[in-house]
Structure formats: structure tokens, C-alpha cells
Structure 1
């Protein structure tokens, strides 16, 4: 599979997602700057308002579905009758055949820290505790090196504007779905929504995120049934603890030839010589690759 075969890729030329303003640089010279747009999206489930998320505004249907799935307000076997997006009033309404139990879940809403503020519900661990990740799948270090090169050099809104996160669903060393948003949890929800709507299997898949490996990212990955989570950024203690508990392979600080795995190391196949991999300089410009997020 090459870049053209990707299911979803960033569109850094979509003018709906960013605007150009003028400022001055360190020499007082006038310079143009591309800055990402940020707008509210209110998600409804069966006529009930659930949450208002700040987002860049692309793929509102996938974001709504993925958010509801990752908050356990939708089940994988739910029949979704319709997903209606109204751009003018910035709302998306998801309707299901089954009567959902959102009222109880709304009582347990918790705000999470991090970019653009995530939201989880107090009983989110119920599903997490029951998920069994596949133990027979493997992840090759050669795939990791290939993914880093493909993702970090692909045209994206991050390389154009900064101030944004990305999550990528991968298969071996190939990016399949690359979503971006102001919060990494939004980008991951979009992937979950796409997979749900198109019936995409998790078999042989991994997830790459540009942001920190936090508890929320670990929980969502496990709930999606994906056994490997990767990042060029670092870890939180609870994220590592939960990954070990769930048997999730957790690889962070992946930059050039370097990485650290803190959970699920039995899945890793060391089939690449790290001395032959391309390393990254200590400080990369936005044009070269991603800075730490």
C-alpha cells in the first residue's frame, strides 16, 4: 500500500480548517502565519445533548460516533439509524434503534486534563476491565521505523500550522487513517467512528499518536481492541499502569532510531538494526518533522 491507498489522509489545503493572518517576527518583519480554526461541535444522542467539543470541524459524523463509542454510550452492535450534521448550528445528532442509557452516564461526567480538554464518564472502566486484547499478534521494529518516516513527512495540517495533534491507524508499516484535531482524543475518536461506520477490523492494527501516552489514550485504545499504541512523546504513570494491566503494547519517545517500550514488550519483534535507522537531530524544525507535543 502506498500513500495513495490511504483511507483518510490530512488535507492541508482545506481552507475551511485554517486561516492566514499577519504578524511580525523576531526581526520586526511582517510575516504571514497559517493558524488552525477552532469551533464548537455539540453532539446529541437520540435527542439528548451530550457534550460540546472544540474541534477543527472536519469529519463531524466520525467524531460524534467515535466519541459516543469511546464513552460507552454506543455499543459496537448498536444499529445507528442516522447521523445528521447541521453546519449552521454546529450540531450533530446520532439516532439509534436501541434506547441508550446516557442519562446515568451524564451524571458521571469527568473533565480530563490535556489539549482542548477531554471528557470521560465515571463508568468508562467498566468496558476497559472486560476487554481482552489479542496475545498472538506481533509488532515489528522495522514497521515502527517505516511508520515514523511516513507519518512525519506526510503533508499535514500540523506541518502547515502547528497547534494540532494527529492520530494514525496503521497496519504493519502502512498508515491507513490519519486524523488531526486540536485534541488528540478528538483525532482518536474520529478513527473509532470511521472504523465503526465502515466495519473496519482491528486485526493487525496499531495506533500512532503525536501526543502524550496518557490514561485516556490507553483506555480508548484498549476499548477499540487495538493491541499496540505508539507515540513520539512520553508517558504518564497511570497510562503505563493501565497498559500493563490490559496487556497493551505501549511504545513511546519514538524518534528516529530510539524508542522505549514500557508495556506489552512480548509483542515486539526486533527485526531491524537500529544503527541503520535514520536518527533525528536534537531539535527539529516543523518542516523536518514533529516537535514534542
Structure 2
């Protein structure tokens, strides 16, 4: 696979809007802000949830959300996906009959910004997943991925107030998705993988957001053995990663990182002394985003 099969388009006029204001010196400024809009998801004839999203790739978001809620099975055949931009509705149709009335009665708000919602048992099937024990992460790959992802054009750099998730293989970033909530970004990647027939073998997951329980659970459900973030950890996220045998790396900025689970997969083949520090522009942007992540 080549690098960046799919990545953000910060020039898409539907995703940002320019507004005027004043800065700390009282000077008039023009700045880009991210646009968020509702998207109501139906599975066959049943309404599932309304999500706040930037609105790109509604098909991948819908399928990935259903997969990560265990409403779609890995072997389910999606027969049709209908999206109506005016009504802000996406309908996923499957060959198998579905009915999740009972599951929809149990709702949990997640810890992510632009709060996500999960239904049913949050830990459903979690302990059944066996992550590849032979998977590895070379530090040279980690350094290369951080540089390529953090310098790639993105809404994150253009406007902030957004999270990114990237599916990677060795030192190559493949699928880069962004949204106002990291749960949406990860679901888009899950949907893309399912619809394009991409397996978890040899894959690495990278996110700009915190390493929360939700991020760990979804990564494990996707059977990806390595999760990296430029942000920090929550205690339950670390506990669940250790329980699942997931390699969990946070605070990955420049030459620095911290691994709190699955350290056995890390191969130290990169020289930290040869890795430059992040640009001041990106450090300032990341600092602002981490304050509200």
C-alpha cells in the first residue's frame, strides 16, 4: 500500500467557515472554524442515533459506528447505503434482519468531546478478542509516522477544534480521518476498512486525542494491536489496554513517547538524537487542542 490512500481535505468549503473577531490586542482578525452538523443514522428501518459530525464520509461513519456498537457483524453484507444531504440522514441496509430495540434502551455517553453515545454493554465481546502477539512497532516507524501525520495538510492544522485518527502500516500513514469527536474519526476508519475489505493485520492506529477507555475498546474491537497518541492517558484506558494486551503509547511528540502497555512489541531501532523537535506552530496548536481534548 502507498501512503495516504485517503486523507483530509482542508480546502473543502463545506467543512470550515470563516468568521471575524478580534485578537488579544483588539485587532480585527479573520479565522477558520470547523462546521458541525447533525447526522441521523438508520439501520434498515430502525432509527439508531443522531451524531454531530463535520459531514464528510457519512457512509464510512455510519458503517463504522454500527460495527463498533456490535450492531453489524464482521460478516454482515451491506446491501445499500443511502445518504440524503438535505435531510441529514444516512440509512444502512443489510441482508440480515436487525432489531436492536432492547439494546437502544441502555445508553452511555462517552468521555469524548462532542459527546459520543454507545448502546448496550460497553464491554460486549471485548474479552473475546485476541490481538496479534507477533505484531511489532519499531521506534523508527513511530518517529516517521509522527512527522508525516503532523505535517500533512489537515483541518486540525487549518482550524483546530477537531481530532484526527490515522490507520497506518509500518512507517506509512494510509487512511487519515478527522471529526469533531475522536469517536467519529475512528468509526470512519472502521467503516472504510469493512467496506474496502482491509484487515487489521500489520496495522497501527494513531490518534490526536486522549487514550480513553472508548478509544482502547474500539481499537481492540477492530483487532488492531498498537494504539499511539500525541495526547495522554486515562487510568481506565491503561487498565483495559493491559487487560487486552494492546500496545498503548501516548505523549508521542517529536522524539518523546511513553508506553504504558504492551511494551514487548516495541523494537528500539530509531535514534532519538536524530529526531527533531516539533515546529513551534504545531506545538502551539497541539497545546490549545489538548486543553479541551
In the superposition, the TM-score normalised over structure 1's length comes to: 0.95
Cα distance in 1 for partners of 2:50, 2:229 equals 27
In structure 2, distance between residues paired with 1:99 and 1:214: 33
Asked whether the equivalents of residues 35 and 54 of structure 2 are also in contact (C-alpha less than 8 Å), the reply is yes
Q: Please report the RMSD computed on the Cα atoms of aligned residues, expressed in angstroms.
A: 1.4
Superimposed CA distance per residue, residues 86-111 of structure 1 (whole angstroms, 9 cap, x where no aligned partner): 00100000111112242121122211
Aligned partner of 1:189 among 187, 190, 202: 187
1:290 alignment counterpart: 286
Tell me what 1:151 maps to.
Answer: 149
Give 5+ residue unaligned stretches, structure 1.
none
- Secondary structure of 1:285's counterpart equals helix
**What is the distance in 2 between the residues matched to 1:256 and 1:159?**
17
Q: Which whole-Å deviations, capped at 9, do the CAs of 1:31-72 have from their partners, x for residues lacking one? A: 101010000000000111100000000000000000000000
Deviation at 1:288, TM superposition (A): 7.3
Greater alpha carbon shift after TM alignment, 97-106 vs 173-182? 97-106
Which digits, 9 at most, give the CA deviation of each residue in 1:130-165, with x for residues without a partner? 111010111101100000100111010111101000
Inter-partner Cα distance in structure 1 for 2:156 and 2:140? 25
Give the TM-score of the pair, scaled to structure 2: 0.95
Show the counterpart of 2:129: 131
The separation in 2 between residues aligned to 1:233 and 1:86, in whole angstroms, is 35
Q: Aligned runs of 1:77-92 on 2, under 5 Å? A: 77-92=75-90
Gaps of 5+ in 2: none
Tell me how far apart the structure 1 counterparts of residues 127 and 270 of structure 2 sit (CA, whole Å).
34
Aligned pairs for 1:153-168 within 5 A: 153-168=151-166
CA contact (8 A) 2:46 2:99 kept: no
Q: How many residues align?
A: 289
Give 1:121 shift.
2.1
1:18-33 to structure 2, matched below 5 A, reads: 18-33=16-31
| Of 210, 215, 218, the match for 1:217 | 215
Contact 1:230 1:251 in 2 (8 A): yes
Distance 1:136 1:101 in 2: 38
CA distance in 2: counterparts of 1:193 and 1:269, whole angstroms: 30
Displacement of 1:126 in angstroms is 2.1
1:163-217 CA-partner distances (Å, limit 9, x unpaired):
0000000011110000000000100000000000000111110000000000000
Indicate whether 1:35 and 2:48 are aligned: no
Distance in 1 between residues matched to 2:201 and 2:123, nearest whole Å: 23
Q: Does 1:279 align with 2:277?
A: yes
1:244 aligns to what SS in structure 2? Answer: helix
Query: Which one is further off, 193-202 or 270-279?
Result: 270-279
Partners of 1:120 and 1:237 in 2: CA distance: 20
Aligned pairs (5 A) from 1:213-292? 213-280=211-278, 284-286=280-282, 290-291=286-287, 292=290
Contact 2:68–2:187, Cα closer than 8 Å, also in 1: yes
| CA deviation vs aligned residue, 1:11-31 (integer Å, no higher than 9, x gap) | 010001111111111121111
Query: Once the 2 structures are TM-superposed, how far is the Cα of residue 290 of structure 1 from its aligned partner?
Result: 3.3
| 8 Å CA contact retained: 2:165, 2:206 | yes
2-structure distance, mates of 1:119, 1:288: 30
Runs of 4 or more, structure 1, over 6 Å off, are none
| Within-5 A mapping of 1:40-51 | 40-51=38-49
